[in-house]
Amino acid sequence: MNYFPDEVIEQVFDYVTSHQDRNSISLVCKSWYRIERLSRQRVFIGNCYSISPDKVIERFPAIRSLSLKGKPHFADFNLVPYDWGGHVYPWIVAMAKSKVNLEEIRLKRMVVSDESLELISSSFANFTSLVLVSCEGFTTNGLKAVAANCSLLRELDLQENEVEDHRSQWLNHFPESSTSLVTLNFSCLKGEINLAALERLVARSPNLKTLRVNRAVTLDSLQKILSWAPQLMDLGVGSFIHDPDSETFYKLKNTIVQCKSITSLSGFLEVAPYCLPAIYPVCSNLTSLNLSYALGIPASELIKLIRHCKRLQRLWILDCIGDKGLEVVASNCKDLQELRVFPSDPFGAGNTVVTEEGLVAISFGCKKLNSLLYFCHQMTNAALITVANNCPNFVRFRLCILDPTKADPLTQQPLDEGFGAIVQSCKGLKRLSLSGLLTDMVFLYIGMYAEQLEMLSVAFAGKSDKGMIYVLNGCKKLRKLEVRDSPFGDAALLADPGKYETMRSLWMSSCEVTLGACKALARKMPMLNVEIIDDSELTVDEALCGGAPVAVTADGDDKQKVEKMYLYRTLAGPRNDAPEFVCTL
Amino acid sequence: MDALCAPADKSIIDLEATELRLGLPGTSSSSSEKLQIFVGRSNKRPLGESSMEGSSNSRSSSSSSNDPEKDGCLGCSIPPSKTQVVGWPPIRSYRKNSLQHKKEEEAKFSGIYVKVSMDGAPYLRKIDLGGYEGYRQLLTALEEMFKLAIGEYSERDGYKGSEYAPTYQDKDGDWMLLGDVPWEMFRSSCKKLRIMKGTEGVGLTCSP
């Protein structure tokens, strides 16, 4: 390869798109490193604090697409305090200042201010794509700026963000000249929408392929939108309630029949079950169906709907479908690859439920299943072993038993054997979440068999440090480990400090780790940021006297248990935006 | 100490992110003093929208309570059977908030009071349609309320065998026989009920 001029090598590199592969080729030799870095356009940074924006720009001056992740995964479940960090603003400022030709920004679990959105919209002339997943900190005012100023915008995709509604009529701010939209997803917005403006926007966007609306968009409006956009492939419905005898409903049914390209359906944020038959005509083409936000559809209606969906590959559904409903899925959806069953009543007594029986039925019927997220009330070893035998192709296996330490109800045994069977059978398993009663055995199995495992989530599991040590020793490809409420302590934390440099991050909360051990680790591994997060703020005395919050420092008693620890490898050193309750050791 | 124990805002405690936690034997057992602290502290958190409430209430508190009874003062608003673990089940706050919102909306739906008149009765009654899950329950309630027998519904003959016909007035103002349309549809379009008597009611069953 050394005999080829750079331009030729660059052409070859163009075919290498995955960032992991590009990272690999950049390690081959100096000249490849140089060619690769000057030609890389898509940059993915899994932890926004692992490197500074300036370094990124320096290394990849041709950057066009930036993907960033901020808060640790457990932030999704309220385990990370509100203002822990993950701000995107410094990144935008750096990119704007250096005048890179940024076209796409994809963010997950980050804090995005209106100021950031405004800066994006005014700094990058060729900006086309904004994707925000599980972010917060912005309002509809920020969206207004994006709509108004990004004249080439193709993609505005807002997934499950917490957005404050300021009645900004942001949708009205797409100029009449804006005709380039391909993806528009605002399903997470809580406020009202100018329906006429939306209809006009859709009418002048011939390339629109994905449209997911919020609950403010009525069935009436949906009918008009669909008549303007029969080319849609991905539809997210807002409100789906209407008198089925009305002319509007009749028109809708006819319009839907014209939408022959819809392969993905979601939303139904408000739905009357008797309106569902209107969508039966598109069901036979569906490969993706997400009804996980559609509360209020009884199992019988869900089952009727599923019977029409023979080509489903991805199904997200609520557990009110029940075990019987999952049996219907198993017999109808032979192409199913991804299944997520969410709890409709997470804290309830559990009358309509799914149990291990539903999952077993799925495993018999859906042999192609490779990705699972399953909330249930109970699980047995026997069921897990059966599932492992039937479905050896799992890449993601996440089980959540609502009572987190529940044993196998048939045998009263821990679920070690069941999960052991899963890791042994599924040789390609990359992501695993455990729950139920578990001892150190399950971790022994994971360490022995889960060779491709990259991410492990542990809660209320294990008996001693050995559990965590098995995993750290055995799982060579481990990148992210997150543990809560498990008896792993200092011996586990310090067993292999070097391991953490091969991983993106480690989270441990409500475990047995002490301050002293964290300090020792931080001293030994300067390339790690070891953060202690303590949002309990006040000591006893100060509470009594109504004192002010005290900043967390490293000066406490070394034997003191650390409530929350988050460590990650980084080239950027301790971060300068850490709030008071975070101390980087 | 009592002042600190009393939760400032009961609704916060009742939300999913609560302070009580099921601890495993062997998990860190910080002093129960910490329990009392963070109740008092909940006043100081910036409590804005429910989305922030969820996160700001995340208690790192290592207050493992192997004995829920002991945490009586903290748990004064929560019966032990309902103790919840912070951040469990692991559902994204966005999703949890949506469910919460939906449930609140459904709770609102349960207050639909409509007038019920019966031919020949001196005064009207009112019933809450939200309190019934289907026609059967509703008809039984009407039968009890007015001391009469309405009988079984059939699509062809209506309420044959009874001298009464339960009807309702829908959004368009028309009088419809009870039972023709799905329950939910009926419930959302019913304005008032009327139990028709005798020959007047019989005429409602239309023959093809």
**What is the per-residue pLDDT across B71-86, written as a single tens digit (0 to 9) for each?**
333 333 434 444 567 8
pLDDT at B48: 36
pLDDT above 70 covers a percentage of chain A that reads 96
Six-digit token string for A466? 């050995």
**Binary contact (B54, A78; C-beta < 8 A):** yes
What 3 state SS string does A244-290 have? CCCHHHHHHHHHHHHCCCCCEEEEEEEECHHHHHHHHHHHCCCCEEE
Q: Between B41 and B144, where is the model more confident? A: B144
Average pLDDT over residues A18-39: 89
Residue B207 pLDDT > 70: no
Closest residue in chain A to residue B46, using alpha carbons only = A82
**Binary contact (B58, A78; C-beta < 8 A):** yes
**Binary contact (A243, B84; C-beta < 8 A):** no
- Selecting from B16, B28, B99 the residue whose C-beta is nearest the C-beta of A512 gives B28
Question: Count of alpha carbons within 13 Å of B141, Cβ hemisphere only?
Answer: 16
Q: Is B16 exposed, middle or buried (0-12, 13-18, 19+ CB in 10 A)?
A: buried
**Binary contact (B55, A563; C-beta < 8 A):** no
Mutate to test the interface with A, among B94, B97, B174, B183 (most CBs of A within 10 A): B94
Return d(Cα A48, Cα A51) in angstroms, integer: 7
Reported confidence tier of residue A374, pLDDT bands at 50, 70, 90: very high
pLDDT at B183: 83
Six-digit token string for A331? 């017999």
Reported confidence tier of residue A538, pLDDT bands at 50, 70, 90: very low
Closest residue in chain A to residue B186, using alpha carbons only = A243
**Binary contact (B34, A536; C-beta < 8 A):** yes
**What is the per-residue pLDDT across A423-464, written as a single tens digit (0 to 9) for each?**
999 999 999 999 999 999 999 999 999 999 999 999 999 999
Closest residue in chain B to residue A188, using alpha carbons only = B94
- Selecting from A243, A487, A511 the residue whose C-beta is nearest the C-beta of B189 gives A243
Return d(Cα A31, Cα B148) in angstroms, integer: 94
User: Do the beta carbons of residue A158 and residue A132 sit within 8 Å?
Assistant: yes
**Binary contact (B102, A509; C-beta < 8 A):** no
The Cα diameter of chain A in Å comes to 76
Closest residue in chain B to residue A160, using alpha carbons only = B94
What 3 state SS string does A106-130 have? EEECCECCHHHHHHHHHHCCCCCEE
- The closest of A23, A61, A84 to A507, measured between CA atoms, is A84
Which residues in chain A are contacts of B87 at CB distance < 8 A?
Answer: 74, 77-79, 484
**What is the per-residue pLDDT across A304-337, written as a single tens digit (0 to 9) for each?**
999 999 999 999 999 999 999 999 999 999 999 9
- Selecting from A295, A512, A535 the residue whose C-beta is nearest the C-beta of B99 gives A295
pLDDT at B138: 87
User: Do the beta carbons of residue A380 and residue A411 sit within 8 Å?
Assistant: yes
- How near does any CA of chain B get to the CA of A514, in Å? 10
Which residues in chain A are contacts of B21 at CB distance < 8 A?
Answer: 485, 510
Cα–Cα separations (whole angstroms), residue A371 to A315, A477, A516, B43, B91: 10, 19, 40, 42, 17
**Binary contact (B96, A346; C-beta < 8 A):** yes
Q: Is A302 exposed, middle or buried (0-12, 13-18, 19+ CB in 10 A)?
A: buried
**What is the per-residue pLDDT across A180-219, written as a single tens digit (0 to 9) for each?**
999 999 999 999 999 999 999 999 999 999 999 999 999 9
Mutate to test the interface with A, among B22, B28, B171 (most CBs of A within 10 A): B28
Q: Is A485 exposed, middle or buried (0-12, 13-18, 19+ CB in 10 A)?
A: buried
Instruction: Give the range among A118-122, A301-305, B183-187 with minimum mean pLDDT.
Output: B183-187
**Binary contact (B92, A512; C-beta < 8 A):** no
pLDDT at B42: 33
Task: Report ipTM for this prediction.
Answer: 0.85
Average pLDDT over residues A532-548: 53
pLDDT at B119: 87
Question: Count of alpha carbons within 13 Å of B173, Cβ hemisphere only?
Answer: 0
Cis peptide before B89, with omega less than 30 degrees from 0?
Answer: yes
User: Edge-to-edge, what's the strand order for the sheet holding B164-169?
Assistant: B125-128, B113-118, B192-197, B164-169, B175-177
- The closest of A557, A550, A555, A540 to A581, measured between CA atoms, is A550
Mutate to test the interface with A, among B29, B38, B99, B174 (most CBs of A within 10 A): B99
Closest residue in chain B to residue A509, using alpha carbons only = B60
Closest residue in chain B to residue A190, using alpha carbons only = B98
User: Do the beta carbons of residue A505 and residue A529 sit within 8 Å?
Assistant: no
- Selecting from B27, B34, B95 the residue whose C-beta is nearest the C-beta of A485 gives B27
Q: What is the model's pTM?
A: 0.78
Which residues in chain A are contacts of B95 at CB distance < 8 A?
Answer: 160, 292-293, 342
**What is the per-residue pLDDT across B133-152, written as a single tens digit (0 to 9) for each?**
778 888 888 888 888 888 77
User: Do the beta carbons of residue A209 and residue A180 sit within 8 Å?
Assistant: no
**Binary contact (B27, A78; C-beta < 8 A):** no
Reported confidence tier of residue B106, pLDDT bands at 50, 70, 90: low
Which residues in chain B are contacts of A134 at CB distance < 8 A?
Answer: 92, 94
The Cα diameter of chain B in Å comes to 78
- How near does any CA of chain B get to the CA of A559, in Å? 12
**Binary contact (B37, A459; C-beta < 8 A):** no
Closest residue in chain A to residue B58, using alpha carbons only = A78
Average pLDDT over residues A16-25: 88
Which residues in chain B are contacts of A535 at CB distance < 8 A?
Answer: 58-60
**Per-position b or e across A270-283, b if 16+ CB within 10 A of its CB:** bbbbbbbebbbbbb
**What is the per-residue pLDDT across A140-160, written as a single tens digit (0 to 9) for each?**
999 999 999 999 999 999 999
**Binary contact (A563, B62; C-beta < 8 A):** yes
